[in-house]
Every structure is written in C-alpha cells, then in structure tokens.
Amino acid sequence: MNEALSPDRLKYLRLLAEQYPTIEALCTEITRLSAQLSLPKGTEHFMSDIHGEYEAFCHIMNNCSGVIREKVHLWLGNQLTEAQADALCTLIYYPEAILKRCRQKGLSTPEWYRTQVERLVQLARMLSSKYTREKVRRAMPADWRFLLDELLHFQSDEPEALSEQDVNRQRYHDAIVDALISTQSGDSLITALAVLIKHLAVDRLHVVGDIFDRGPRADSIMDILCAHHSVDIEWGNHDILWMGAAAGSEVCAAGVARNCLAYGNTEILERGYGIPLRDLTLLCEKCYPELPLNKAMQQVITAIMFKLEGQLAERNPSFGLEGRRLLHRIDWNKAKVEADGATWPVDLSLLRTVDPARPYQLTDEEQAVIESLRDAFTHSIRLREHVAFLYRRGWLYRVFNGNLILHGCVPMNPDGSFLAKELEGQSLSGRELMDYADRIARRAFYTGDQYALDFMWYLWCGSDSPLCGREIKTFARAYIHNPEAWEEPRNAYYALYNSEKVCERILAAFGLTSSESRIINGHTPIRVTHGESPLKAGGRLVVIDGGFCRAYQKTTGIAGYTLISNSHGMRLMSHQPFTSLRDAQEKGRDIHSQSFEFATWPERRYALDTDNGQRLDARRRDLIELLAACRSGAVSLQAAANP
C-alpha cells in the first residue's frame, strides 16, 4: 500500500484523516455517503421572466407550481372529499391567513387541529422519503425540529394490528399533539408543517432571469428568493440593468428610472428601495410644463439616457452600439432621422432638452439629476443587499445536472458558427464570450471601473449581447410614430435553436454530450395561442417564458411555465392567469396548471446521477482509499488526531 501511494496522495490522505478520529467514524461516514447516493434525485423547478409579478409568483411558490395539489390528491385522495382536499391545499399555501379565518369562524376546535395535523404529517412523511433524515431535519423550522422529527418518524399499522410497542408509540404521538393543542401552539405546529412540506416539495429552484421591471413588486420577489433554501439565478437583461445601476452606472440608472416610469412602476424606486425622483420631477416641470407629470418625466429621463448612451458607445466602439447613436443623425430642420438605412419622421417636440449643436452633452441641470440618481442607487441599502444576492447566487449561465441554463442566447452567426466579439484585445465566442461577460459583470459591482460599468449597458441592450440578442428600438418607440421602425431583428440563435444539430453543438461547447442534456431558455415569450411550442429542436431546447408578466398574457395565452425535473423525467406545468392573493386566501382559488411530460428517463435517476452526487461519490471513494491506507498502516488516524 505504501508503494502504491504517491507522496502528494499520502499527504492528502493524512490531511483528510484529521477529520476522523477513529476507524468507526470513518466507516460511518462512508456508509452515510453510500446510503445518501442511493436516494432518488431531488426535484428541480425552473421559472423565468417573473417581471415583478409578485402575487402570482408568491402563489406559485406556495403551491409549488401545482405539485402540492397533485400530492394531496395522489396520497390523500381516497381519504378526503374534493372540498376537504381544496381546503387542505389552501391551508398549506397560506397557513397564517387560513388559521386566523378558522379562529374567527369558530372552526378551530381541538378535533379540527388533530385532523389537520394528521393529514399534514402524512403528506410531509411521504415527501420526506426522498431525503436523508439529516436533510429533512435541516428543512424543519429550528424551534420545531425535535417535535416534527418525532411526529414524522412515527409509523403504525391498522389499530387492531398494533403491538404493545406500537400502542406506546401511538400514545406518545397523541400526547405530543394534544399537549401542543392544549398550550395553544396548534397554529405554530400547522405553520411549521406547511413550511416543511413546501420545502420538501422543491429541492432546487432555478430562476432563469428577468425578475425586475414591468410588474410592481420585484423587491418583494427578491425578499422571497433571498430567504429560499436552495436557489440559483441566471441573470436576465432586465436584472443586469438594475445590477448596473446599483454598481454605479449612470446610463443604467437612467434606464431603470425610464422603465419604471414607462411601466407606471415608480413605487418600487421610491418605497421599495428609497430612491427619490424629486430632482427629476422639478426639472420636468420646468421643461415640459404642459405635459402630465409622468409623461414629462419620461421625456426628460429618456433624453438623458440617450445622451449618456451616445457617450458610452463612442468611448467603447468594440461594443457595436454605434447604430444606437441617433441624436446626431437628426435633421432638425426637416424633423427627420436616419436609422437602419431609412429616413423616418421624428417628433422633435419630445426632444426639447437636446441641443442640436451638442446632442450628447448633458445640461448642468441634467448632470445634477443623473448624479443624484446614481448616488441614490448606489446608497440604497436594500437594493445593494438584493444585488449582492444576485451576484452571490447568480450567473450569466449555469451548467447544472446535465443541462445548460441561460436567459438569453449564445450569440451565433447565420451559418451556425459562434459569433466572435473583439473585447479588450481578445476575440471571444461561444462559451469563452459567456464566461468573459460573467467576469466583467462581477467586476462592475466589485471594482466599479468605467469599462465594466459600460459593459453592463451593452449586456442590457447589445444586439449581440448574450443577455439581449436583439436590436432594441428604444429610440424609435420613443420618437418615431411609425410602427415599421419598431421591428427588432434578433440574433441568428433564435432561429437556429430549432435545429437539433445546432443545439447539440451548443451543448457540446459547454461540455454536455449526453443525449438527455438540454438547453433551458427564457427571454422570448412563447405564443401558445398561435400554436408555438416551448419545445424546440426535438425537445433539446425548452423555452420557459410563457408570459408570467400580465402584459404578455394576451400574446402567450397562458401565465407562465414551470419546468419540473425529477427522478423520473421532465415535464412542463403551464399556468393559467392568477386573480389575486385575496381570492386565493378567502375563496381558495388556486392557479389551474396543466402538466405535460415530455421526457422520461430510461432508468430512475438517483442522487449519484447529479452534480452534487458526483462530488459526494468522489469524497466517498477518497474515504474508502483512506480506510485502506489506515488498515495497511500507511496512515494513522491517531497521529492525525494528535499531531
């Protein structure tokens, strides 16, 4: 054994041995890991393009994309009427609100509490079967771990078949429940069980970009995500705009303010993040006294944004944003502008803050407004906490359990090759370009250099940006009243991703060669009403933007997708529009979701088949090698424990 181990390997094993004082402890850990790897793979949920729709998002998080209702009907359906099943589901979704209502109506008798606890314990017990007891205990609210662990791991047969030992255990179980009810702790117990059930139903949540903009409460969505037990985020272009603003980019700050004004969503700035718009308001009243305030504010901040963007594009020619610099192309005498090889009439009445002789120069008043806005973004404590979380738990893309997860695109040429981008003296394409973009986005927040801050704007709106991938016609929509000028050509990726060979080439570039690997995409709403399918390239790519945002639901025909990957396969849950949290709590109205299974694994997947399982298996094999080294005398646990 001594001869088989290299000096470096022997050194590693001796360091590893410091964690295990005895052979028994080492064997216990090997056994624990081996058993853990034999459990079924945990369930993953994928959601995208939430766009501030807090109430719908909150409900889908509470009903676990319809999975809770499925499990109630599957495991308790023969014990409950339809009305009882509905009531149990609503109790799990909103325990505090339902318990309060039951107390007000005089329904919360001791017998009612016992019944609800028994049903919830049964459901939690079933859901916990996929996990180790240690993991289930960690999922329990800390104050309730001992009692919940006792309740979940009590087993009994039919009453007439109970042995004396079973009778004792039943009495113990009943005593726990009765004591909690008698001490008026029933509400807390039910709430703790509801939290545990929702935790166990979804092992991992992937949010595939665009948490911010359009809807009113992205800040509240971020609060939920920050508290989630296991989440990762693949940044969207709307997220990166807010991240850029929080990092100190003036043009990103202007872009965020403009979007909030355009969507009628300034409350998130002023109340959600404490970012005042007073300086902008005062300037608007001076420049556009005849316009409604919101409209005037949009015009002023839009002009500021285009001026800053023009400066940015000029100092960063490699970004390819020259086509967005249009202020100097305006013929102010004819009220026309050249754009995209054509000449369009332009509404000059909305550009009165632009000096034709120096179109990209801010006035002193505009400079004061944007500096005030930038400082407000960078000094918002709550925004900084949320953005820090986006960096800590987020990536431009993620390779996870055999899938490539990204919001936007891998920029491509029409011939199917990866588009090359010259940035900081490097020619980058494919995965290298994606990795570079991820690094520079982090540099913007942690160092704040001007190039990195400017790059955040490119990621937001660049036609060949991995997060955008289309020509956003912001100028045309603001100042040109002809809809023909608003067309937004997209990167070739969005046509090529219908090809299975192209998707296989993309996956291979990210190290994924299995026939069961997939690209999971957001960003582009699926027009279900027009017969469009979220499955592309024979199912090798799945677009899960189904219209979470209310503004898109007339186009998509649904209210979003959740992609679910479990130990048996993959399926899509399509959600119907949500009414309100009040309806859900008071009337028990759930989101109607339809399930479509499109991939079934040839064999059930286990923890060993996951990325984390492979890491645990590598550790298990190291420990087996350490055990052999200990038994051969090459490594001494005693020496490691007492250096």
Q: What is the pLDDT of residues 101-138, one digit of tens each?
A: 998 888 889 999 999 999 999 999 999 998 999 999 99
Residue type present at position 112 = W
Same domain? For 164 and 261 the reply is no
Burial of 425 (0-12, 13-18, 19+ CB in 10 A): exposed
pLDDT of the residue at 560: 80
pLDDT of the residue at 160: 52
Q: Measure CA of the first residue to CA of the last residue in the chain; give whole Å.
A: 22
Domain annotation covers residue 364: yes
**Comparing C-alpha atoms, which of 70, 491, 407 is closest to residue 212?**
407
Of 436, 456, 484, which residue is a domain's last?
Answer: 484
- Strand-pairing partners, residue 597, are 571
**pLDDT tens, 189-214?**
999 999 999 999 999 999 999 999 98
Domain annotation covers residue 454: yes
Same domain? For 24 and 148 the reply is no
Q: Which domain holds residue 30?
A: 7-38+613-641
b (16+ CB within 10 A) / e for 522-539 = bbbbbebeeeeebbbbeb
Helix axes 293-315, 364-379, angle to 10 degrees: 90
- Give yes or no for residue 158 having a pLDDT over 70: no
Of 444, 467, 484, which residue is a domain's last?
Answer: 484
Other CB atoms within 10 A of residue 150 CB: 13
Same domain? For 32 and 69 the reply is no
Q: Higher-confidence residue: 250 or 575?
A: 250
pLDDT of the residue at 231: 97
**pLDDT tens, 416-452?**
999 999 999 999 999 999 999 999 999 999 999 999 9
**Comparing C-alpha atoms, which of 293, 263, 289 is closest to residue 281?**
293
- Strand-pairing partners, residue 575, are 593
pLDDT of the residue at 1: 43
Of 178, 202, 226, which residue is a domain's last?
Answer: 202
**pLDDT tens, 259-314?**
999 999 999 999 999 999 999 999 998 999 999 999 999 999 999 999 999 999 99
- Asked which of 74-88, 159-173, 310-324 is least confident by mean pLDDT, the reply is 159-173
**Residues near 458 by Cβ (< 8 Å), separated by ≥ 6?**
316, 319, 321, 465
Other CB atoms within 10 A of residue 605 CB: 21
Domain annotation covers residue 48: no
**Comparing C-alpha atoms, which of 455, 458, 545, 460 is closest to residue 494?**
545
Other CB atoms within 10 A of residue 246 CB: 27
**pLDDT tens, 578-629?**
777 787 777 767 777 788 899 999 999 999 999 999 999 999 999 999 999 9
Domain annotation covers residue 164: yes
Nearest-angstrom CA–CA distance, 234 and 522: 10
Do residues 544 and 521 lie in contact, with contact meaning Cβ atoms separated by under 8 Å? yes
Same domain? For 348 and 480 the reply is yes
* Percent of the chain's residues with pLDDT above 70: 95
Same domain? For 26 and 109 the reply is no
Same domain? For 194 and 260 the reply is no
Nearest-angstrom CA–CA distance, 80 and 88: 9
Same domain? For 171 and 71 the reply is yes
Confidence of residue 157 (pLDDT cuts 50, 70, 90): very low
- Asked which of 277-291, 348-362, 399-413, 545-559 is least confident by mean pLDDT, the reply is 545-559
**Comparing C-alpha atoms, which of 92, 298, 278 is closest to residue 195?**
92
Other CB atoms within 10 A of residue 182 CB: 10
Mean pLDDT, the chain, integer? 91
pLDDT of the residue at 642: 52
Q: Higher-confidence residue: 178 or 195?
A: 195
**Comparing C-alpha atoms, which of 261, 321, 346, 267 is closest to residue 295?**
261
Same domain? For 104 and 193 the reply is yes
Q: Which CA distances in Å does 321 have to 325, 358, 464, 472?
A: 7, 19, 10, 11
**3-state DSSP assignment of residue 43:** coil
- Give yes or no for residue 547 having a pLDDT over 90: no
- Residue where the block lists tokens 């303010």: 257
Domain annotation covers residue 400: no
Same domain? For 332 and 463 the reply is yes
Domain annotation covers residue 450: yes
Confidence of residue 2 (pLDDT cuts 50, 70, 90): very low
Nearest-angstrom CA–CA distance, 109 and 112: 5
Same domain? For 77 and 128 the reply is yes
Q: Which CA distances in Å does 454 have to 113, 240, 439, 532, 542?
A: 58, 12, 14, 36, 31
Same domain? For 22 and 171 the reply is no
Number of structural domains found in the chain = 3
Q: What is the average pLDDT across 393-400? A: 98
Q: Which CA distances in Å does 259 have to 163, 212, 408?
A: 68, 10, 19
Domain annotation covers residue 225: no
Same domain? For 172 and 266 the reply is no
Q: Which CA distances in Å does 325 have to 53, 228, 360, 555?
A: 33, 42, 9, 31
pLDDT of the residue at 70: 93
**pLDDT tens, 455-464?**
999 999 999 9
Residue type present at position 166 = D
Q: What is the average pLDDT across 548-554? A: 69
Count how many residues are written for the chain: 643
Domain annotation covers residue 479: yes
